[in-house]
């Protein structure tokens, strides 16, 4: 036999041996101990030849309760799910079931399991049609009953819960629903008065009217006060006249405008008798009952997007469109029949603030939406890491599970801990919102402005890491994690640019600081009460027990916020003492403002996590939550350079922090499956990669 054929035979034999060890792993030889300790969690071979579905279920059950002699799952995943979802679990499961059972949601069998999800092979036109069909189906099933006509806190929480389920299926579906109910419908509720509620809310809830929300323009997004659309009043006819005066004033990215919306809320400068009274909102019909675009209105499609192609984003121009005087949403200001401007709020700045306050709901929805996207990504990536093996560490040993590698643990488990923290934060924000009072509006604005960027940035980072952690499989759309990145990227700028929102947080903290100092009163509000106490001291040497203690974690996060707020206030005062305007001062101090905004968000989320943990009775669940909370806190200490930059941590203590992260990852590893199972997301909403990915890719699946 030639040397080349011998070499080829050896390669074939070697690959066969590797595959055999992969599909039928055997324990490491006692004489050659594996350097990485395998952890009990999920241990089923992904080959159908190795184990049929019935046996797989049986073995999974055994691991949950007996774990083949290894450590069993140490907490009740149902109880943990109640902490994660927090409210309306039965409503969520009902909607999950409606989606899984209907052929409209594209069910498909892969690897012996049924999965649902949009068909991204469809054109954007086809995706839009399917999105609307799914909404009509959900409406027929009663999903949207009471969305606008019931306004109690429990009704609002139900609406949030069902929105999160829709979002778990498809971001386009949830955005399309959200634009109609939360933006168009929310504008009617909060900006309108009884005459608008009586005329529009019921028809909106039943989809007899399809609404959209025309605020963003080609030339203005975050700077709402600068929008260029102009509305004037004709007292002879009792009509408003809406006009797009220039190309940069065209309404842009308006969800629902391109195909389906019949009406829109237009945000426009209101000019009365030559005086600009600022931004106001008007109801404008844009299509008739037959779907034809109304006279003097032009609509164009925004085109194909990197994601959300199931949403028909459009552009709108208004060419002196006339609407009745009653179409002004007049909860803040009105115009009389003879053309007099009327408002109880005389100060334009306060009037604008009152006008914009109700829009907070959009940030609340995006914050919780981002959390569920991160949960899906982690559920898939961690399950895959518990079944996929790579490389042997001994000559005859089995290949090692990905999640038994410290590097893989470090990639995914800190993000898992953060997702738990973000979930508690999103639940807190929702409850803060539904229980809002006039006195709490400022707090809700600041907290939502901090949480929306923090949670959406976390989601994008998580999805990117999950995409990389599953290797090339992350490129397949059906495996979800890669495609979710492009679907959710919009959240960084949707409902307010994240960086702009964080600067608003810092400005609000500065306002509270200046007010307290000027009036010589204690801090009271925005969580700054800790600044009334002595400055916390950080131990010179951080041990494992200190790093994991709640007291230390709160102390160091409070120290960071206190110090950064003092630095920010001093720097702003220094610039203003030199005659620099307030506006320019904030552009010069942006670096400290960013650090301060992050410090506020991290401390707020930490406090919320601790309160949730303290409410849990002693036992395994509380113990695991303590590990998760410590990993969340300590990974922030490692990742944020501010702790070193401003001297809150010494270099030696920073090294101790890094080592502690690795220890916590090892301790959380046995709980990884239970922690992602506690998210309560049905298997059908994940992907084949999370389960029997070999069978899902086997030749019979191609033939079928």
Between strands 263-272 and 230-234, the pairing is parallel
Cα angle: 642, vertex 643, 647; to 5 degrees: 105
Closest CA to 482 of 465, 494, 506, 458: 465
The DSSP code sequence of 194-227 is: HHHIIIIIHHHHTTSS-EEEE--BSS-SS-GGG-
* pLDDT score of 24: 52
| Pair 101, 171: CB distance under 8 Å | no
Name the token pair of 56: 């797989």
205 class by beta-carbon count within 10 Å (0-12 exposed, 13-18 middle, 19+ buried): buried
pLDDT single digits (tens) 607-625: 999 999 999 999 999 999 9
Q: What angle do CA 660, 409, 678 make, to 5 degrees?
A: 100
Question: How many whole angstroms separate alpha carbon 156 and alpha carbon 361?
Answer: 11
Q: Which two tokens stand for residue 297?
A: 């209105």
DSSP 473: G
- Which residues, including other chains, have CB under 8 Å from residue 222's CB and lie 6 or more apart? 496, 497, 500
Cβ neighbors of 253 (< 8 A, separation 6 or more) are 216, 302, 313, 315
Instruction: Report in angstroms the alpha-carbon separations of 656 from 540, 546, 551.
Output: 12, 11, 17
Return all residues near 398 (Cβ < 8 A) that are at least 6 apart: 21, 22, 25, 26, 27, 28, 389, 392
Distance, in Å, from the CA atom of 704 to the CA atom of 702, rounded to the nearest integer, reads 5
pTM score, two decimals?
0.90
402-448 pLDDT, tens digit each: 999 999 999 999 999 999 999 999 999 999 999 999 889 899 999 99
Question: Quick one: pLDDT at residue 111?
Answer: 86
- Is 251 within 8 Å of 299 (Cβ atoms)? no
Is residue 1 classed exposed, middle or buried when 0-12, 13-18 and 19+ CB atoms within 10 A define those classes?
exposed
Classify residue 627 by its DSSP letter. Answer: H
CB burial class (10 A; 0-12, 13-18, 19+) of residue 375? buried
Say which residues have a Cβ less than 8 Å from residue 161's Cβ, sequence separation at least 6: 85, 87, 88, 91, 92
Number of neighbours of residue 669 by Cβ within 10 angstroms: 22
In this prediction, residue 11 carries a pLDDT of 53
496: left (phi over 0), alpha (psi -120 to 50) or beta: left
Query: Mind listing the pLDDT tens digit for each residue in 465-495?
Result: 999 999 999 999 999 999 999 999 999 998 8
pLDDT at 20: 53
* φ, ψ dihedrals at 214, nearest 5°: -100, 85
- Taking the C-alpha atoms of residue 388 and residue 535, their distance in angstroms, rounded to an integer, is 49
> Could you tell me the maximum CA-CA distance found in the chain, to the nearest angstrom?
104
End-to-end CA distance of the chain: 42
Tokens 């608008």 locate to 196
Task: Give the C-alpha separation, 106 to 370, whole Å.
Answer: 23
* Sign for the pseudo-dihedral over CA of 220, 221, 226, 232: positive
CA distance 172 to 169: 9
Residue 174: its pLDDT value, please?
A: 97
Determine how many CB atoms are found less than 10 A away from the CB of residue 269. 19
Give a three-class secondary structure readout of 309-358.
CCCCEEEEEECCEEEEHHHECCCCCEECCCCCEECCCCCHHHHHHHHHHH
C-alpha to C-alpha distance for 586 and 584, rounded to whole angstroms: 5
Ranges under pLDDT 50 in the chain = 1-3, 5, 18-19, 22-23, 26-35, 38-72
């Amino acid at each position: 036999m030639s040397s080349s054929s011998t070499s080829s035979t050896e390669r074939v034999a070697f690959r066969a041996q590797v595959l055999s060890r992969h599909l039928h792993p055997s324990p490491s030889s006692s004489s050659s101990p594996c350097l990485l300790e395998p952890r009990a969690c999920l241990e089923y071979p992904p080959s159908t030849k190795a184990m049929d579905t019935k046996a797989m279920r049986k073995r999974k059950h055994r691991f949950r309760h007996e774990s083949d002699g290894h450590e069993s799952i140490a907490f009740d995943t149902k109880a943990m799910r109640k902490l994660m979802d927090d409210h309306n679990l039965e409503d969520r499961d009902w909607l999950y079931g409606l989606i899984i059972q209907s052929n409209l949601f594209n069910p498909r069998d892969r690897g012996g399991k049924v999965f649902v999800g949009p068909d991204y092979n469809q054109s954007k036109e086809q995706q839009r049609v399917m999105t609307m069909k799914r909404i009509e189906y959900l409406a027929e099933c009663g999903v949207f009953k009471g969305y606008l006509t019931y306004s109690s806190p429990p009704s609002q929480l139900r609406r949030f819960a069902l929105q999160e389920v829709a979002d778990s299926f498809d971001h386009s579906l949830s955005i399309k629903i959200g634009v109609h109910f939360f933006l168009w419908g929310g504008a009617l509720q909060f900006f309108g008065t009884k005459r608008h509620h009586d005329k529009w809310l019921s028809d909106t809830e039943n989809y007899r009217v399809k609404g959209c929300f025309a605020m963003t323009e080609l030339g203005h997004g975050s700077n709402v006060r600068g929008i260029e659309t102009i509305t004037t009043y004709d007292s002879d006819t009792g009509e408003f006249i809406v006009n797009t005066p220039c190309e940069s004033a065209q309404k842009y990215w308006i969800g629902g405008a391109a195909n389906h919306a019949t009406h829109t809320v237009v945000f426009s400068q209101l000019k009365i008798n030559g005086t600009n009274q600022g931004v106001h909102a008007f109801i404008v019909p844009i299509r008739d009952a037959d779907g034809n675009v109304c006279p003097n209105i032009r609509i164009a499609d925004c085109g194909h997007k990197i994601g959300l192609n199931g949403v028909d984003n459009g552009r709108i121009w208004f060419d002196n469109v006339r609407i009745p005087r009653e179409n002004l949403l007049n909860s803040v200001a009105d115009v009389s029949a003879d053309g007099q401007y009327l408002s109880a709020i005389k100060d334009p700045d306060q009037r604008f603030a009152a006008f914009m306050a109700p829009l907070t709901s959009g940030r609340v929805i995006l914050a919780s939406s981002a959390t569920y996207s991160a949960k899906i990504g982690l559920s898939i990536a961690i399950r895959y890491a518990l079944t996929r093996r790579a490389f042997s560490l001994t000559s005859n040993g089995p290949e090692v599970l990905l999640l038994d590698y410290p590097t893989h643990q470090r990639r995914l488990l800190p993000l898992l801990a953060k997702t738990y923290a973000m979930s508690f934060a999103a639940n807190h924000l929702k409850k803060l919102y539904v229980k809002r009072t006039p006195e709490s509006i400022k707090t809700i604005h600041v907290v939502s402005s901090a949480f929306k960027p923090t949670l959406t940035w976390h989601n994008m980072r998580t999805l990117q890491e999950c995409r990389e952690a599953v290797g090339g499989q992350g490129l397949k759309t059906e495996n979800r994690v890669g495609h979710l990145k492009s679907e959710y990227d919009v959240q960084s700028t949707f409902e307010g640019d994240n960086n702009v929102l964080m600067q608003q947080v810092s400005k609000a903290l500065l306002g509270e600081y200046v007010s307290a100092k000027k009036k010589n009163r204690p801090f009271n509000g925005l969580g700054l009460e800790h600044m009334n106490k002595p400055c916390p001291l950080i131990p010179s040497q951080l041990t494992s027990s200190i790093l994991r203690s709640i007291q230390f974690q709160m102390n160091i996060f409070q120290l960071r916020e206190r110090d950064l707020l003092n630095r920010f206030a001093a720097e702003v005062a220094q610039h203003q003492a030199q005659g620099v305007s307030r506006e320019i001062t904030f552009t010069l101090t942006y670096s400290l403002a960013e650090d301060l905004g992050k410090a506020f968000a991290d401390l707020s989320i930490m406090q919320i996590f601790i309160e949730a943990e303290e409410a849990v009775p002693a036992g395994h669940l509380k113990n695991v939550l303590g590990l998760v909370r410590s990993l969340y806190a300590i990974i922030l200490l490692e990742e944020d350079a501010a702790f070193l930059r401003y001297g809150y941590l010494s270099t030696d203590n920073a090294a101790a922090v890094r080592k502690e992260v690795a220890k916590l990852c090892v301790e959380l590893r046995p709980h990884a499956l239970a922690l992602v199972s506690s998210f309560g997301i049905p298997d059908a909403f994940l992907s084949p990669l999370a389960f029997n990915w070999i069978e899902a890719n086997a030749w019979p699946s191609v033939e079928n």
